[in-house]
């Protein structure tokens, strides 16, 4: 090929110097746990089920240890083996710990639901899930009478355990509902036995054939699957774009033009101008396109290279696409194949599962002398030493001055390198290592800063008046 449009690529590693807290915006449950942001990923599973090995023996033992009523057997008739195993584990927790730890009041099942999801998403096995759940619910180790039952469950094949964990992640509330129903049936049956002075209960007459459920048509795809969809912890590219590029780029521009950027809605700027740089702006309802909107957009982008870099919207005009594309991945075992041909290849964190990196942060606000305070809150976090690989791709033919705006943002970020939430209490402090740079970075930065200095008053007035320095008419109000 004689002619090729080559994008400009920058790669970096952000290493956590303090825990990263990055909540999942989709989780709105009534719980004081903020779960870490997750993204679905297709990952390979462990070897297939063993039809005549340990799983066969273990499933028979588990079924015999957990009898059901005829009604419950019908309830589970269309369930997979993995679902029943997950329900049994939750039922054991309910039986053992009812009235203990955090499983005590009217909201105990809501409390349990939030913690089951949080713990299952970072557990690598059912045993680590059980240990994490005991810790999250503030209870002690189980009585010895339950050790054998739990040992059978924890000895199941890795694939079956992974599928059971996926059930707890995806439909944990349903697993808890069925576990509660099952536990109530067992409690009533045992009470009936006591009333009959040790006579056999008429209710607990059935056992589930967990082995045959592996061949049920409803479960056949899970059984034969070589991969599964798993929710993997991730720091979203949107967060990286905002915290590493957009926010520091705006702070740098404000410092250069002498504008107060620290008080949103209460500074020198019209709200629309501020929104353009802080979050990209919004299309105004009922707004009308001006004549030649493309020419207007190009003129604004030429005046403000940061807008050219990131794009945006003013009133009813879309200012064109961003010159910058942002990708980010957690450096972990689950992403090893994705990062194989990047500058992150070979890093030691690629041998560690992302679920092992997830920790929990406890936040408690001190009460006043009159007892006013805030109850404790938990937030999942990524452990110190976790790494985020970031790739920044500039479109071909990006102007040099726009590249300079990018390096101004990166240099500003290095001075205050925080990603995620709770930065006021030290969360998300990062170390930035540029692993793949661009030729002439200093010259590009100088080109941009010289432009801002030379046109400072014009550019400042364009923002303050909302004209964006392309005429006398206010475009943003």
Token match 């250069």: residue?
256
Q: Phi and psi of 175, rounded to 5°?
A: -60, -40
Least trusted range by pLDDT, from 33-37, 230-234, 319-323, 434-438: 33-37
Backbone φ, ψ for residue 251 (5° rounding): -65, -40
pLDDT of residue 398: 93
Report pLDDT for 432: 96
Residue 449 clears pLDDT 80, i.e. is over it:
yes
Q: What is the pLDDT of residues 331-350, one digit of tens each?
A: 999 899 999 999 999 999 99
User: 258-313, pLDDT tens digit by residue?
Assistant: 887 555 455 678 888 888 898 888 877 766 666 777 888 899 999 999 999 999 98
Is the per-residue pLDDT at 438 higher than 50? yes
pLDDT value for 287: 64
Mean pLDDT of the chain: 83
Contacts of 72 (CB under 8 A, 6+ apart): 181, 182, 185, 206
| DSSP symbols for 210-268 | HHHHTTSTTTHHHHH-SEEEEEEE---HHHHIIIIIIHHHHHHHHHHHT---SSTTSSS
Cβ count within 10 A of residue 285: 6
Which pTM value belongs to this model? 0.75
Rounded to the nearest 10°, the torsion over CA 317, 320, 326, 327 is 90
Lowest mean pLDDT: which of 135-139, 183-187, 377-381?
Answer: 377-381
- Would you place residue 49 in the very low, low, confident or very high pLDDT band (cuts 50, 70, 90)? very low
For the cut 90, the answer to whether the pLDDT of residue 190 exceeds it is no
CA distance 162 to 225: 12
Phi and psi at residue 205, in whole multiples of 5°?
-115, 0
Long-range contacts of range 239-242, CB-CB < 8 Å, 24 or more positions apart?
A: 239/22, 239/37, 239/328, 239/419, 239/420, 240/326, 240/328, 240/388, 240/390, 240/419, 241/310, 241/324, 241/326, 242/279
CA distance 13 to 326: 13
Cα–Cα distance, 233 to 259 (Å, whole number): 37
Q: Are 7 and 20 in contact (CB under 8 A)?
A: no
Q: What percent of the chain has pLDDT over 70?
A: 81
Tokens matching residue 303: 């005046």
Write out the two tokens for 266: 């209460």
pLDDT band at 51 (very low <50, low <70, confident <90, very high): very low
Q: What is the pLDDT of residue 203?
A: 60
Q: What is the pLDDT of residues 90-134, one digit of tens each?
A: 999 999 999 998 888 777 888 888 788 778 877 878 999 999 999
The confidence score (pLDDT) of residue 52 equals: 44
């Amino acid at each position: 090929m004689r002619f090729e449009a080559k994008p400009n690529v920058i790669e970096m590693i952000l290493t956590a110097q303090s825990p990263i807290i990055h909540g999942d915006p989709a989780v709105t449950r009534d719980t004081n746990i903020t779960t870490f942001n997750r993204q679905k990923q297709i990952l390979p599973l462990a070897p297939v089920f063993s039809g005549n090995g340990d799983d066969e023996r273990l499933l028979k033992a588990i079924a015999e240890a957990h009898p059901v009523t005829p009604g419950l057997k019908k309830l589970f008739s269309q369930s997979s083996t993995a679902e029943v195993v997950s329900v049994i584990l939750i039922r054991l927790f309910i039986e053992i710990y009812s009235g203990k730890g955090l499983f005590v009041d009217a909201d105990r099942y809501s409390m349990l639901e939030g913690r089951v999801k949080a713990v299952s998403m970072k557990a690598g096995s059912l045993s680590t899930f059980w240990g994490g759940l005991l810790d999250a619910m503030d209870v002690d180790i189980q009585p010895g009478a339950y050790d054998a039952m739990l040992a059978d469950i924890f000895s199941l094949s890795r694939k079956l355990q992974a599928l059971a964990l996926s059930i707890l992640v995806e439909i944990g509330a349903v697993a808890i509902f069925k576990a509660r129903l099952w536990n109530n049936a067992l409690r009533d049956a045992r009470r009936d036995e006591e009333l009959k002075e040790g006579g056999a209960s008429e209710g607990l007459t059935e056992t589930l054939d967990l082995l045959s459920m592996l061949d049920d048509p409803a479960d056949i795809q899970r059984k034969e699957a070589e991969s599964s969809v798993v929710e993997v912890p991730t720091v979203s590219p949107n967060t990286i774009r905002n915290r590493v590029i957009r926010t520091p780029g705006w702070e740098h521009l404000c410092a250069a033009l002498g504008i107060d950027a620290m008080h949103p809605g209460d500074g020198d700027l019209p709200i629309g101008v501020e929104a353009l740089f802080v979050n990209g702006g919004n299309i105004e309802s009922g707004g009308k396109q001006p004549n030649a909107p493309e020419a207007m957009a190009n003129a604004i982008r030429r005046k403000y290279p940061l807008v050219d870099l990131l794009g945006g919207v003013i009133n009813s005009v879309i200012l064109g696409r961003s010159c910058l594309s942002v990708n980010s991945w957690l450096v972990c075992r689950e992403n090893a194949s994705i990062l194989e041909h990047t500058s992150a290849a070979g890093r030691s964190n690629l041998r560690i599962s992302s679920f092992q990196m997830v920790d929990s942060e406890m936040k408690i606000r001190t009460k006043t002398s009159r007892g006013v305070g805030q109850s404790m809150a938990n937030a999942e976090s990524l452990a110190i030493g976790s790494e985020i690989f970031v790739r920044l791709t500039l479109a071909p033919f990006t102007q040099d001055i726009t590249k300079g705006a990018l390096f101004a943002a990166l240099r500003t970020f290095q001075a205050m390198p925080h990603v995620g939430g709770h930065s006021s209490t030290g969360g998300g402090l990062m170390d930035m290592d540029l692993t793949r740079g661009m030729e002439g970075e200093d010259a590009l930065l100088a080109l941009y800063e010289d432009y801002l200095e030379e046109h400072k008053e014009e550019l400042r007035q364009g923002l303050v008046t909302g004209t964006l320095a392309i005429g006398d008419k206010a475009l943003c109000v």
